[in-house]
Each structure stands twice: as C-alpha cells, then as structure tokens.
Structure 1
Amino acid sequence: MKTLTPELDAHLNGEVTSLASCWYICRRDGAKTYLTDHDKDLMIDGNLYRASEGYDRSALKGSSGTDTDEMELSGYLNSDWLSENDLRAGLYDFAEIRLFLVNWQEPTMGIIPLRKGWLGEVSWSDGLFQAELRGLSNAFKRNIGRLYTPECTADLGDNACKVEIEASAVADMVSLVSSRNSFQLTNFEGEDGILNGGIVHFTSGSNLGQKLEVHRWRQDIKQIELFLPCPYDVQPGDTAVFYPGCDKRFVSCRDRYSNQINFRGFPYVPGLDSLLEA
C-alpha cells in the first residue's frame, strides 16, 4: 500500500493533475543518475533530475501473483550519463532502479512510488539503448537447489570448488594488440588451453579493473582471444592478472587440479544416449 502526503492526495483527486515520472539509478560502484521525462529539470529532495537526458519507457505491468513485474527503458547513447563503452564495461549491470511520480509544479508535495528493482538485459544499436527493468518479484524465477548434471555446478575457486585460484594466477604484460578481444602476452608460456574459460583481470590501462572471460589461449604465439571485446582499447604495456579456466568435466577436475573430492557434478548419471539405446 502506498502512503501519500495529504497535499499530493488532494492533487490526485483534483480535476487536473501535473505529474512527471522520475528515475533514480544507482550503479554497483555507487555512482547515481537522476532522470525525468518532464521538459524541465526538477529538484527533488536535493537531487537534480535532468530532463535534457530524455528517455522513454514502456507501460507498467503489475500482477497480484508471483509473475515478474517488468518494463523497458530506452534512450540515446550520446547522452552525458551513458555511452556504449559504459555498457560494454558493465557499469550498469544490476544497477538499482527506482521509478516514481511527482507533481512537477510542486515537487515538495512528495512522491508516488511505482517500481523498485534492478536493470536486467541491456542492448544497444544505432545510437539507442534499451534496458529491461526487473522488479522485486524477479527473485521468484531463480532456481533453488541442485540439478543432476554431468558437469560441475561450481565455479573454479569458489567456496564449493575450494581450489586456491590465487595460487594459479599469473601476472603479465600485453606485448602486441590485434583487436579489443585478441592480443599477445610478453612472458607467459602456459600450455595450450590452460587459460580457456579463465579470467583476465586488467590492472592498468584504460580497462583497469575490467574482468573478461578467455575464449582461447595459444602457446605458440602467446595469443589470448576473449569471448567479448574489451570495453576500451587495449594498448601494449597494459598489465593484467590471468586466472586459469575449467571446463567443468570430472576428468579435468581430477587430472589438472586433483580436486575430485569437491567435484559438484554427477559424471556417471545416465545421459540421453543411454535412454535411446535399444
């Protein structure tokens, strides 16, 4: 149940209303953005909600059951608060979102809260972005419990896996760059595939702090290929820490990491081929 101030309640019961919607966006790094669809900036609770960085949203959809309450937000990528590089860098992944209405003629009357949730899937093209807002009920879509799969359900180095991943990490420097998702290292000489599925954590350069997944490692030319391009240009001399990967197979867990006791899969569970045998 929403609680409104007497002044705002009286305004809603009047013959004419003057309402504008506002967005509050808080990224995981603490950076905050304030937006409104009104044609002028609004000062609300000491924060300036900018109208110049306009956006559009889909209609609100609600449910009294456990169905997820979702909507979409769209706008221009050339705005001051958002760029394509920001999206590639994941700066807005899982950002907290609050949507509310306010009387733009008298913002001090209070707000009408509409939604609270987090940003979900974000896509962009032709200078426009589109983001999905996932409401609080989205948590009910999560799978809780274990699944019977031949592959391990743990991530290398997490509390379930228990492999000391930091002991296997290697620091190195970029020597030659082919593209944002392909470059060569200076010193590392690990065997082919040792970094496949692993993580690159940049410790200097424009991609400082970024973590990206490795697609392929070739020892002969010391080349790394990433699944996704880096959000910013990679330069020779950039440093990074490289963590090995895991294909989540029992044989790899046993032979490479001697960690079969912590394997979180079911390697001997019958597969579809067993069911189809005559």
Structure 2
Amino acid sequence: MSRIFFSQELEGVATFWRIHRRDGVTLGFTSHDRDLTFGGIRHRAAPGMLPSAIRRTAALTGDSAEMQGALAHDSISEEDLKAGLFDAAQVEAGAVDWETGEHAVLYSGTIGSVSQEAGTFSAELKSAKTALEVDVVPRTSPTCRAPFCGPGCGLSAPRFTHEAQVIGIDTQANRVLFDDPAPSLMAGGSVRWIEGPHVGLAMDVLDADATGLLLDSRLDPALGSGTRTVLREGCDHTLATCHARFANAVNFRGEPFLPGNDLIARYPVGR
C-alpha cells in the first residue's frame, strides 16, 4: 500500500467494499455520497451500508468483520439473498481517496452467514485464515471422505459431467427433469445453471427418480423448458458404490470395517 491514509488532519477518505459473486457478477459500494469509479469498477453510493470494525491480527485465528445495512439497492435484494446469490461470495473492503481515486484493500474474505430482520441484513465475513481451522488429520468414517471427482478421489470430473436441457418442471414438488443423464445417476449430484433465472447458481440434488431431480433450492416459476445446465453425477460415498459403479475402491477414503464405539460397551453373554 503506497498511500498512507489519515496522515493529515483533513482528507477526503471514504470506505468501499466489493462483492464478487460466484455467478461472475461484481458489485461495488462506497460510503461516499456519490458514486465513485476506480479500479475499473463503479462503486455505488450506499451510505446506509456500513462495514463494522475490521480486526486484523498476526495470530492464526481468523480475522473478523461484519457488514450491515438496509436493502436499499436493487443489486442487493431480499429475493437474491434468499436465493443464495451471495452465498460464499468474495468480499474486499478498504479505503479510497474520493478526490484522487487512490485506494487500498484492508480486508478480504468470503461471505458466511447472512441474517435479515425488518428490512435490513447483516453478513458475516470470513477471512482466508478460516482455512487454518480445518483439521489436517482426517477423522475416521465408514463412508468416503473425498469429494466426488475431487482431491483423493482420482476420478475425472469431465467423465461424469453432462450438459443438459430442462424437459420437465414441477414447481410444486421442486423437481426438474433433464434430457440427460438418467436420474438414477444424479442422486447426491449437483446442477449448475448456465442460463435462465438461476444462471450462475449451483444446486445440490437431494433425491432423484423418474419424476425428476429434487433440488435443495426453490425453483423460480419463470424457469422454462430448454434451459441449459451442467450436471455433475453424484455418489453416495459407500465402498459398494465405489467398487461396483466406479471400479475405484483403491482410492476409497474411508474405514467401513472399523469397529464402532459400541464395541467397548459389549459384554459376554452366557449360553
């Protein structure tokens, strides 16, 4: 950071924050009373949105921050928050000289939990240090701990990824039917929308049968047949499926035959 802010008694400094959503949309806001454009991004004037105190330390514990404000902009609506458009979005917060455009990012992280009350929202921001809180030693489990087609699995993601189109919708049951692949392959999988009202969003498949895929997020009534998506097949993470369906038991990351805690509670039974 070349600019030293607040080194003089009077400076034109405002705060700014940017939200990089997973669907590729970037939103910029500033506490100044008019819009500012710097860094190639237009930052909308949002004096009602305030970042709380940002705590940065040299310790390994996660830095904390919070963003609060009213739902005053069309770009942050209650419907979008409920739909998950801002879930796990990347956030940058910092200071900007509204006269020269010089700016510095003071905090970066991702959006965690979002709460709403009486037309206002509060978003918890998680710094990159939260990754250090993950256990480095995996815990035993009867099912595979490796993400399907992810690290430790060894399977190729493109092999189980399909581009498909919607051919049937049941908004009441929140089920949608695609032309490919067979629903039986999609249990535990995911759907990523590449067009339509859910474009950019990914949804998990909770259940799959001949009537379609049950998704974990509410379908928009505007969703129509022919909408294109990218589907990733699912896996129930059991050894039987890993062996029979994928022939990948050699990479199984689980302990299905490890005795459980009930073993220590057993006692001999007389005959």
- The aligned runs of 1:8-87 (5 Å cut-off) are 8-9=6-7, 11=8, 14=9, 19-28=13-22, 31-42=25-36, 44=38, 48-52=42-46, 54-87=48-81
Tell me if 1:158 matches 2:150: yes
One of 132, 135, 139 as aligned partner of 1:140: 132
One of 71, 80, 93 as aligned partner of 1:99: 93
Write the letter of the residue equivalent to 2:204. Answer: E
Tell me if 1:218 matches 2:212: no
Shift, 1:112, TM fit: 6.2
Partner of 2:225: 236
Structural RMSD (CA): 3.5
Cα deviation per residue 1:37-96 (whole Å; 9 max; x = unaligned)?
A: 233444556754322473123333343422211111123345132234544565444433
TM value normalised by structure 1? 0.76
Change (3 A) 1:87 1:271: same
Shift, 1:178, TM fit: 2.5
Partner of 2:112: 120
Size of the aligned set, in residue pairs, is 266
One of 122, 130, 136 as aligned partner of 2:122: 130
Farther off after superposition, 166-175 or 128-137: 166-175
Tell me if 1:205 matches 2:196: yes
Equivalent-residue separation in structure 1 for 2:80 and 2:242 (angstroms): 36
Equivalent-residue separation in structure 1 for 2:121 and 2:105 (angstroms): 24
SS at match of 1:108: coil
Unaligned stretches of 5+ in structure 2? none
Partner of 1:259: 248
Partner of 1:276: 265
Q: Contact 1:23–1:100 at 8 Å: present in 2 too?
A: yes
Aligned-residue identity in percent: 28
